[in-house]
Structure 1
Amino acid sequence: MPTDPRGLREDAPLLDAWLRFRERPPTPFTIPGHKQRTDLVGDVVAGDVPLYAGLDTMKLTGGLLADAEARAARLWGADVCRFSTGGATHANQAVALAVAGDGDTVVVSRTLHRSLLLGLVLAGLTPVWVRPDVDAATGLPLGVPAEAVRRALEAHPEARAVFVGDPSYVGTVGDVGGLAAAAHAHAVPLVVDAAWAAHFGFHPELPRHALDLGADVVVTSAHKTLPAWSQAALVLARTERVDAARLDAGVEATATTSPAGAVLASTDAARALLARDGEELLGTAIAATRAARDRLRTVDGLVVLDGSAVDPLKLTVLLAGTGADGNAVERDLLDAGLPVESADRDVLVAVVSLADTSDTLDRLADAVARSVERNRRLPRDVVGAAVYQVEPEPVVPPREAFFAASEVVPLPAAVGRVSAELVAPYPPGIPVLAPGEQVTAASLDALAHARRSGVRIAYAADPTLSTLRVVTGVE
């Protein structure tokens, strides 16, 4: 029978409801269809308790979800919070629907997650792109400069919101306070996709979280650095510049009507754990990550991302100086039972959470060090920052490109056409092409250079880039 080993249920109403359901299982005549039987398809459905007629009544008379969301709002200093069982993907799309309307302009970081691009499509928004700085030494993105947002808003006073992703996928942290000031000077909200930063603000060595720095809306994933089920995420908002009713409508419009109670309960439990024990657990993980970085810095030629503008819980290493191929290192790590979040020729990214200790980080650091020595070759250059600085040439809005008729053409024939696809070297995930933009010789040269350098090309329908999907009849 499930237990509450850390005694969280008193402060976590959804966790308490999940445990009570499991302690006194009913004979349900509701969905899900497995009816809590594990003898049919096995333990894969164990613990799958619905919200409706599971954690709460079918009419939600207990108000448990609203109670749990209110507790999360208080913890982060938000006016409102909504839980998502569709991850930051659902949350980003809901926020896009909430802050602007069909045909409106918004300022968007070029490091957008593809879920936000689909949010632009759903809401009919037209992006004005702002680009992050890129470190020439590593080829990795830094933050979006506040000055870039100021210039974009001055050039587009009609813009309704600013969207940025921070921290980046590789763990670099930008000036969220400066971005908030730039947005608020033009009376528009700052929306931060902080999917990788649910832990920010809960230990003295961590950056402050985005709401504390002035952001109006924050999307964060409870399942990335906190111990929640996959797909658990939160939308946290202050309502001075954001309509709370419209945010609710956006969340409901894009959410499932059959939310998984276990995902919701785990979000509630993770929030209660963060409030009570977060500083202690995060302190252990931060110290272990620091020790792992120190260990890896002893490997000749290996560059370890570090410093005040890097998440203390992200372990990102660059391999170019060792000559080792990150794909070979990844195979060694998989053989050792140590999968990492991302690996390409030049970059390894390992996610650390408050579940990690010195034992897990020591194993990882030792395995990476051994593999690099085993696969060491002549040093090579990093992929240059110029790869990620191709100027976009918008022709039609993303929504129009998404719904337009399209055709697949050989890559050389795509020059001068309008892309129907999002194409980005990953990491760092900065698009070279987005739907609605003209395909130029410069953009194709940049993608070819990235591929030759061993960088994975993400999102494209044809990952070999022999072909590209373009809008029919638009040039």
Structure 2
Amino acid sequence: MPTDPRALRADAPLLDAWLRFQEAPSTPFTIPGHKQRHDLVGDVVAGDVPLYAGLDTMKLAGGVLAEAERRAARLWGADTCRFSTGGATHANQAIALAVGSDGDRVVVSRTLHRSLLLGLVLAGLTPVWVRPEVDPVTGLPLGVPPEEVARALGAHPDASAVFVGDPSYVGTVGDVGGLAGVAHAHGVPLVVDAAWAAHFGFHPRLPRHPLQLGADAVVVSAHKTLPAWSQAALVLARSDRIDAARLEAGVEATATTSPAGAMLASIDAARALLERDGEGLLEEAVAATDASRDRLRAVPGLHVLEGPGVDPLKLTLVLHGTGADGIAVERDLLAAGLPVEAAERDVLVAVVSLADTERTLMRFTDSVIAAIERHRGAPRPMVGPAAYGVDPVIVMPPRDAFFAGQDTVPAARAVGRVSAELIAPYPPGIPVLAPGEMVTGDALAALGEARAAGVRIAYAADPSLASLRVVREPR
């Protein structure tokens, strides 16, 4: 279902401004320094137009960004919307600054991404962790049960907000409506990091998006499942329980003062496309993914994540029953020009978006099936993501640990000390250790198991895990 982007310009003010800049190029005496010349470093800067003195005047007299954000807020049913050129990372940190004060407690799903954990550091918030349910067959995370959040709020009635990530990295979808009801019964907002769900709510086969289910603030990544530039994201909020002025201050405090106009225009264009043609494009992608699932389900030993609690456009494949090594399968896919979002020994995750068609899905499916058969072996026990099986032991707030004096010590000597760093298998980027938590033998064992299974250990100062950064002990 091809579309002409110029047909969107009447409903996309930032896209229209970007196209007008291309149609009548100027001789700028402003940044960026390439001055629209492509003969210096090449087309790597093609399309790079600033917001200030590019899509709008230096004084933003045209108001094109505000108008584009207003249209996005209307589409998602929010009171306010801000575009981000810093991805969901920026948006999560802005919301963290908006919902509490230094020292406040917030209920936080352990499955949230590192960006919010660093948001807790910036805002001085202390997490009360809640855990998701885990699928007994695959070991993968499901949603956080509302009753778990209710218990946490009952034990900590001073908590100022609830943060969850939904859907999960692997595509499982929780009870957002139930979580909203619990949060609101305790008088606090529900904030949903829905980075992987920009398409939710725009096709009858897809789950409703979190604002439709009662959430108070939502972060979506426009570049993950919509056709926007990398780093493009939106933060959407209702003002009943979220202070709009505080949110605005949080966005501005953590945003660049030189936003990329092309990135902003791509958010606007993706929103206009979703509003105009989204259901038709998603229909083709959903149907093609259904056909792919049907074929993959027939592969002996392969478990395909599916059902009403799974995003129809996320293909998560569990390989342990095939005996094939996911890292070897990934190598074959890379050689075929088919990179996947995540590949571990036992799990492959492939992202499908409204840009996909029957042709792209069938090529992918053919290659996956062939690779599994090439590497098939004896079935083996499942090695699930390391983060879900480790209970954090909180010793001090993340902010205190982050800014404390620190030492680098051999891993064996770190047990019993307080972690000064965030350490997470990536993907999915969920921490086994966070600043302020005790380093335990269980945590080190889980990280070692993940690394041995071919999972990249992210954010650690020493990714080999031979040493860790810990809080310096008093003399």
Question: Any idea what SS the aligned residue of 2:54 has?
Answer: helix
For the 8 Å contact 2:386–2:450, the answer to whether it is kept is: no
Match of 1:204 in 2: 204
AA of the residue aligned to 2:175: D
Q: Which residue of 2 aligns with 1:109?
A: 109
Provide the C-alpha distance between the structure 2 equivalents of 1:53 and 1:374, rounded to a whole number of angstroms: 55
* SS in structure 2 of the partner of residue 220 of structure 1: strand
CA shift for structure 1 position 385? 7.9
- The letter for the 2-side match of 1:79 is D
Cα distance in 1 between the residues matched to 2:125 and 2:20: 44
1:454 and 1:52 mapped to 2: Cα distance? 45
Deviations 1:195-224 (A, max 9, x none): 000000000000000000000000000001
**Conserved in 2, the CA contact under 8 Å of 1:140 and 1:428?**
no
**Structure 1 residue aligned with 2:30:** 30
C-alpha displacement of 1:411:
1.2
C-alpha distance in structure 1 between counterparts of 2:40 and 2:432, whole Å: 48
How many angstroms apart in 2 are the aligned matches of 1:425 and 1:151?
28
The answer to whether residue 32 in structure 2 is matched with residue 11 in structure 1 is no
1:223-263 per-residue CA deviation (whole Å, 9 max, x = no partner) reads 01000111110000000001101101100010000000000
- Is the 1:102–1:125 contact (alpha carbons within 8 Å) kept by the matching residues of 2? yes
Distance 1:375 1:6 in 2: 46
Counterpart check, 1:321 vs 2:321: yes
Kindly indicate whether the alpha-carbon contact (under 8 Å) linking 1:139 and 1:384 is maintained by their aligned counterparts in 2: yes
Alignment of 1:437 onto 2:429: no
Offset of 1:453 from its aligned partner? Answer: 4.2
- What displacement does 1:386 show? 8.6
Letter in 2 for 1:215: A
Q: CA deviation at 1:112?
A: 1.3
Query: What's 2:465 paired with?
Result: 465
Structure 1 stretch displaced more, 315-324 or 382-391: 382-391
- Closer, same or farther in 2 for the Cα pair 1:44/1:428, shift >3 Å? closer
The code of the aligned residue for 2:42 comes to G
| Mapped pair 1:291 → 2:291 | yes
Aligned to 1:260: 260
Task: Say which SS state the counterpart of residue 67 (structure 2) adopts.
Answer: helix
Tell me what 2:40 maps to: 40
Aligned partners of 2:430, 2:267: CA distance in 1, in Å?
30
Retained in 2: the 8 A contact 1:86–1:231? yes
1:66 corresponds to: 66
Shift of 1:422: 1.8
**What is the one-letter code of the residue matched to 2:412?**
P
Determine if contact 1:8/1:273 at 8 Å carries over to the other structure: yes
Counterparts of 1:160 and 1:387 in 2: how far apart (Å)? 25
The one-character-per-residue Cα deviations of 1:180-208 (angstroms, maximum 9, x if unpaired) are 11110111110000000000000000000
Q: Which amino acid aligns with 1:161?
A: A
Amino acid in the other structure paired with 1:179: L
Counterpart-to-counterpart distance in 1, 2:264 and 2:306: 34
Residue 266 of structure 1 aligns to a residue in which SS?
helix
1:153-168 to structure 2, matched below 5 A, reads: 153-168=153-168
Return the offset for 1:456: 3.7
Residues 1:273 and 1:198: Cα distance change in structure 2 (over 3 Å):
same
What count of residue pairs does the alignment treat as equivalent? Answer: 473
Normalising by structure 1, report the TM-score. 0.97
**Which stretch has the larger CA shift, 440-449 or 131-140?**
440-449
Percent identity between the two aligned chains: 78
1:112 corresponds to which letter in structure 2? L
Q: Secondary structure at the match of 1:327?
A: helix
CA distance change for structure 1 residues 45 and 425 in 2, over 3 Å: closer, same or farther? closer
The whole-number CA distance in structure 2 between the counterparts of 1:137 and 1:172 is 14
1:210-249 equivalences in 2 (<5 Å) = 210-249=210-249
- 2:343: which partner in 1? 343
Amino acid at match of 2:135: D
Aligned to 1:183: 183
> Shift in Å at residue 432 of structure 1?
2.2
Q: Deviation digits for residues 108-161 of structure 1, max 9, x if unmatched?
A: 100111111110011011001001111121011000111111011110111001
User: In the alignment, which residue of structure 1 is the partner of 2:382?
Assistant: 382
Give the corresponding residue for 1:404: 404
The answer to whether the 8 A contact 2:327-2:454 is kept is no
**Given that residues 111 and 132 in structure 2 are in contact (C-alpha distance below 8 angstroms), is that contact kept between their aligned partners in structure 1?**
yes
Task: Write the deviation string for residues 272-328 of structure 1: whole angstroms up to 9, x where unpaired.
Answer: 000010000001001111111111112111111111000000011011111111111
Partner of 2:360: 360
The residue number in structure 2 matching 1:173 is 173
- Residue 429 of structure 1 deviates from its aligned partner by 4.1
Consecutive unaligned residues in structure 1, runs of 5 or more: none
For residues 193 and 84 of structure 2, the distance between their equivalents in structure 1, rounded to whole angstroms, comes to 14
Give the whole-Å Cα distance in 2 for the aligned partners of 1:311 and 1:248: 31
Is contact 1:387-1:450 (8 Å) kept? no
Check whether the contact 1:36–1:46 (CA below 8 A) recurs between aligned residues: yes
8 Å CA contact 2:387, 2:430 repeated in 1:
no
Rounded Cα–Cα distance in structure 2 between residues aligned with 1:296 and 1:330: 16
